[in-house]
Amino acid sequence: MVNPVRSICIVGGGTAGWLTAGIIAARHASESGCGLQITLVESETIGIVGVGEGTWPTMRTTLKKMGISETDFFRECNTSFKQGAKFARWVTGEESDFYYHPLVLPQGFPSLDLAPFWTRYSDGGGDARSFSDAVCFQEAVCELGLAPKLITSPEYAGVANYAYHLDAGRFAPFIRDHCLKKLGVRHIVDEVTEVVKNDAGDIDYVETRKSGRLRGDLFIDCSGFRSLLLGQTMGVPFVDCSDVLFIDRALAMQVPYDDEQSAIIPHTVSTAQKHGWIWDIGLQSRRGVGYVFSSNHTTSDAALAELRAYVGEAHRDLQPREIKIVSGHRQTFWKGNCVAVGLAGGFLEPLEASALVLIELSADMISTMMPATRETMDIVAKRFNETTQYRWDRIIDFLKLHYILSKRTDSKFWIDNRHPDSIPQSLKEQMELWRYRAPGDQDFTSNNEMFPAASYQYVLFGMGFRMDTHVSPLGRDIASAQRAFAQNEALKVKWTKTLPKNRDLINKIKQLGLQKI
Amino acid sequence: MRLVELSRSEHAGLRIRDDLVEASAASQHLVPIVVSEFRKAAIHYPIVFAKNPETGRFAPYVLNGLGVEENLFWSGTEMDVAYVPLNVRRQPFYVGTNDAPDAPATNVLCIDLDSPCLDGSGGKTLVNPDGSDSSYLKEILSVLGELVAGKDTTESFIATVLALELLAPIVLDIVLDDGTPLQIEGLYGLDEEKFRQLDEERIATLWKAGCLDLIYSVLIASGHIFNLIRLKNQRIALSRAWHSNPT
């Protein structure tokens, strides 16, 4: 006798809960009545943390698969375009110090690797352009404040690869409405009062104040930092990563624009400060600005002074919201018949906007690997845990990379961050190899990689890391490299001439809409 | 381009060279048409759909060439076709919108004062000696009238085919006689396979709405792409002969 998996109970209705519900419901035809039955229970009284106003390009596929129109998404969620991130003052701390981590891969990548050629030319003084500018046209597009596509581009298609900035407070209700109207998700607004396990150690049901017992064959914990099901009920311990990543506080502000037609910056700006860094995300109607810092290195008051200096005198009346954050994740993410998605599984500082993408990837993995029976669930859980652990480790490595390459000495925060004991062994090994050759696909061989080798290249060379290219020969690709550099210059000219201003395109999308084809 | 509202008194002395009108299309690979033109256009041109670069909205066009700014029907002096689209024939006149703040928007007749068709040696005048509209101007007004009248029906046809998801990008995989592969971007056509799969009820609705003959016109006209390729190859051959410089 087998116990089939027919119903799923999601606890928590923030971004994690609704995205997970939508992703699974769309794949498993919940609206047809013969697919998986999905119930989401959320409390009216518990607020949404609303982590992450920045997405990855994966969000385009995620929304498209759920059957959401990109035009509606722009109209409802205060959405704007994000073409990667600009990192300011991370290396020396000076005004002129910046580099880009764009979303478009280097020209010719991965079949052609321009990094050694750029290194050779720039060491020889022949190429004064930054790495990202020399190999990718997107930096020029961003510097001019242009959008990544045209009004004639179909929904979800772009001239340049792009992601989004969005208003998390509007995003969760937007996905909720779609889940309820189109995807057949059952919605219960009630408070969970108790989570009850059966003899086998699985979650049997969640007790609610008014709606009685909610049963499910699989429970998904989207309860946020509380980790009500996985942490509290299943007792899975938290693994603290603050020995690697020091940031544990955020001061967040919503900064208004000067006027309705102020330019919207088409990328995230991350500006390093004395004890952390400030994010600056342009939405349609406001900017989201926040300082994440280490409370072991500075006080909230001192941090607030830095944040106020950043946003300027005109906004001195804005009151920040202080959020405590703990970098880390649960020891396992799926135990028994319970899996955690979102903050219930863990949290890392938002430097590379990893929160939403981890929700998408986790929900997608649960959806595609959905066990048919309770008996096969443990195998799926084991695989899910291996993959998810791998992903967290890679994100932690990549976040740490930004800190170990800094040359800032203006505080113990930056100096401590470069201490060898704080650097994961996996990252140390990569850095050894990269002394002589650029990061390549051979360094990232899993099917579940988070960042392509190109991302490592952008950060490494953006932050002034230099390989010794004289040990290994450059090979015979010099002609193709020159063609690729020239091709990049041509693309720069073409698209900086053709692409519209970011705000102008967003206005047009809201007014006229994008075509589906 | 200098568009002004036509004034029958102020512009009474203008003379138009109507033999230059078609030259305005000499380097237009796409000319917008309205649905009332579909059957006539289908005699000569592929009818395609493309997005307006300013609005992203779809509109129907006749296709004159296989590259941007290429008009393979332009002989050097005229359009070598039996049917010239209204949007060429109306030159150098335009329909403008009077957007005076207090009045409802109305259409006004405009003329492009920079048009090369405006020439003292031209044979056409706008008003008769008695002040009435000349037969030439009446003809222009009827052309513009058909364009204005066709605007809504054309938009509703587009909305219908979009709702049925019948538009699809045109994929052309052709190598010309000189070896260059042909790439046309941004053109859409009707997806014949999807159209054939529509159920009877939908077909009946299309028929009642007058959309069925329009769809067939587009499907039949799609074969003219082969004529464009033929014309293009002829040009390549001519240009080769020109440059081969026989001694």
Q: Is the pLDDT of residue B238 over 90?
A: no
**A457 vs A100, A130, A398, A440, CA distance in Å?**
11, 12, 11, 9
Q: To the nearest 10°, the Cα dihedral for A71, A77, A82, A86? A: 160
- What is the pLDDT at residue A50? 55
| Number of domains within chain A | 2
Continuous segment of H or E residues that includes residue B96: strand B93-98
Per DSSP, B21 falls in state G
- Helix, strand, or coil (residue B235): helix
Kindly state whether residues A55 and A179 are assigned to the same domain.
Answer: yes
Q: Taking the CA of residue A110 as centre, how many other CA atoms within 13 Å lie in the half-sphere pointing to its CB?
A: 13
Whole-angstrom Cα distance, residue B95 to residue A37? 57
- What is the pLDDT at residue B9? 87
Continuous segment of H or E residues that includes residue B167: strand B167-169
For residue B56, give how far its alpha carbon lies from the nearest alpha carbon of chain A (Å).
Answer: 4
Kindly state whether residues A183 and A319 are assigned to the same domain.
Answer: no
Kindly state whether residues A25 and A170 are assigned to the same domain.
Answer: yes
Per-residue model confidence as pLDDT tens digits over B43-95 = 999 999 999 999 999 999 999 999 889 999 999 999 999 999 999 999 999 99
Q: Of A84-93, A239-248, B172-181, where does mean pLDDT reach its minimum? A: B172-181
- What is the pLDDT at residue A486? 95
Residues from chain A that touch B58, judged by Cβ atoms under 8 A, are 515
Kindly state whether residues A332 and A206 are assigned to the same domain.
Answer: yes
Kindly state whether residues A300 and A359 are assigned to the same domain.
Answer: no
Asked whether residue A72 is domain-assigned, the answer is yes
Give the per-residue SS3 of B32-70.
Answer: ECCHHHHHHHCCCCCEEEEECCCCCCEEEEEECCCCCCC
Q: And the tokens for A514?
A: 């994008």
Task: Give bridge partners of residue A238 from the DSSP assignment.
Answer: A330
Interface of A with B in 140-179 (CB under 8 A): 150-152
Whole-angstrom Cα distance, residue A201 to residue B219? 64
Residues from chain B that touch A512, judged by Cβ atoms under 8 A, are 55-57
Residues from chain B that touch A508, judged by Cβ atoms under 8 A, are 55-56
| Cβ–Cβ gap A514/B188 under 8 Å | no
Q: Which among B56, B58, B168 has CB closest to A151? A: B56
* Test mutation, A153, A506, A517, chain B, max B CBs within 10 A: A517
Residues from chain A that touch B51, judged by Cβ atoms under 8 A, are 151-152, 515
- Helix, strand, or coil (residue A69): coil
Taking all residues of chain A, what is their mean pLDDT, rounded to a whole number? 94
| Cβ–Cβ gap B58/A515 under 8 Å | yes
Kindly state whether residues A212 and A260 are assigned to the same domain.
Answer: no
- What is the pLDDT at residue B131? 86
Q: Is A517 on the interface with B (CB under 8 A)?
A: yes
Kindly state whether residues A192 and A294 are assigned to the same domain.
Answer: no
Q: Is the pLDDT of residue A381 over 80?
A: yes
Other C-beta atoms within 10 Å of B100: how many? Answer: 9
Residues from chain A that touch B167, judged by Cβ atoms under 8 A, are 517
Whole-angstrom Cα distance, residue A391 to residue A449? 7
Whole-angstrom Cα distance, residue B116 to residue B17? 8
**A482 vs A108, A118, A138, A440, A477, CA distance in Å?**
11, 10, 19, 20, 9
Kindly state whether residues A320 and A372 are assigned to the same domain.
Answer: no
Q: Is A512 on the interface with B (CB under 8 A)?
A: yes
**A506 vs A53, A89, A497, B85, B156, CA distance in Å?**
17, 29, 18, 35, 26
* Test mutation, B30, B48, B51, chain A, max A CBs within 10 A: B51
Our CA angle for B164, B166, B169, nearest 5°, is 140
| Cβ–Cβ gap B168/A517 under 8 Å | yes
- Using CA coordinates, name the residue in chain A closest to B53: A152
Domain boundary among A366, A393, A420: A393
Task: Give bridge partners of residue B111 from the DSSP assignment.
Answer: B4, B93
Asked whether residue A306 is domain-assigned, the answer is yes
Q: Is the pLDDT of residue B239 over 70?
A: yes
Whole-angstrom Cα distance, residue A457 to residue A101? 9
| Cβ–Cβ gap A151/B162 under 8 Å | no
Whole-angstrom Cα distance, residue B71 to residue B82? 15
* Test mutation, A149, A152, A506, A507, chain B, max B CBs within 10 A: A152
- What is the pLDDT at residue A468? 86
Domain boundary among A324, A352, A371: A324
Domain boundary among A324, A339, A374: A324
| Cβ–Cβ gap A515/B54 under 8 Å | no
Per-residue model confidence as pLDDT tens digits over A11-54 = 999 999 999 999 999 999 877 877 899 999 999 876 666 555 89
- What is the pLDDT at residue A18? 97
Asked whether residue A96 is domain-assigned, the answer is no
Kindly state whether residues A169 and A217 are assigned to the same domain.
Answer: yes
Asked whether residue A258 is domain-assigned, the answer is yes
Task: Give bridge partners of residue A166 from the DSSP assignment.
Answer: none
Q: Is the pLDDT of residue B105 over 90?
A: no
Q: Is the pLDDT of residue A187 over 70?
A: yes
Taking all residues of chain B, what is their mean pLDDT, rounded to a whole number? 92
For residue B53, give how far its alpha carbon lies from the nearest alpha carbon of chain A (Å).
Answer: 6
| Contact residues for A295 (Cβ-Cβ < 8 A; gap 6+) | A248, A249
From the list A510, A500, A517, A60, the residue with the least C-alpha distance to B186 is: A517
Strands B15-16 and B124-125: antiparallel
From the list A323, A324, A364, A371, the residue with the least C-alpha distance to A341 is: A364
- What is the pLDDT at residue B188? 96
- Using CA coordinates, name the residue in chain B closest to A153: B56
Continuous segment of H or E residues that includes residue A375: helix A374-404
Whole-angstrom Cα distance, residue A115 to residue A349? 28
Asked whether residue A254 is domain-assigned, the answer is yes
Mean local confidence (pLDDT), B87-115: 87
| Contact residues for B32 (Cβ-Cβ < 8 A; gap 6+) | B59, B60, B61, B85, B87
Asked whether residue A474 is domain-assigned, the answer is no
Chains A, B: CB contacts within 8 A come to: 31
From the list A32, A48, A260, A311, the residue with the least C-alpha distance to A173 is: A48
Per-residue model confidence as pLDDT tens digits over A430-468 = 999 999 999 999 999 888 899 999 999 999 999 999 988
- What is the pLDDT at residue B215? 98
Kindly state whether residues A59 and A201 are assigned to the same domain.
Answer: yes
* Test mutation, B49, B55, B190, chain A, max A CBs within 10 A: B55
- What is the pLDDT at residue A402? 97
- Helix, strand, or coil (residue A200): coil
Asked whether residue A385 is domain-assigned, the answer is yes
Residues from chain B that touch A514, judged by Cβ atoms under 8 A, are 56
Residues from chain B that touch A152, judged by Cβ atoms under 8 A, are 51-53, 56, 186
User: The tokens 């500075």 sit on which residue?
Assistant: A298
Q: Is the pLDDT of residue B163 over 60?
A: yes
CATH number at residue A73: 3.50.50.60
- What is the pLDDT at residue A31? 79
Asked whether residue A118 is domain-assigned, the answer is no
Q: Which among B51, B53, B54 has CB closest to A515? A: B51
Whether the CA torsion A388, A448, A28, A49 is positive or negative: it is: positive
Residues from chain A that touch B188, judged by Cβ atoms under 8 A, are 517
What does the radius of gyration of chain A's CA atoms come to, in whole angstroms? 23
Q: And the tokens for B147?
A: 């364009």
Q: And the tokens for B128?
A: 């008769």
Kindly state whether residues A227 and A266 are assigned to the same domain.
Answer: no
Kindly state whether residues A177 and A320 are assigned to the same domain.
Answer: no
| Cβ–Cβ gap B56/A508 under 8 Å | yes
Q: Is A506 on the interface with B (CB under 8 A)?
A: no
Per DSSP, A18 falls in state H
| B187, amino acid identity | L
* Test mutation, A71, A150, A151, chain B, max B CBs within 10 A: A151
Q: Of A75-79, A228-232, A387-391, B240-244, where does mean pLDDT reach its minimum? A: B240-244
Task: Give bridge partners of residue B133 from the DSSP assignment.
Answer: B127
Residue A258 structural domain: 249-324
- What is the pLDDT at residue A19? 97
Mean local confidence (pLDDT), A65-81: 97
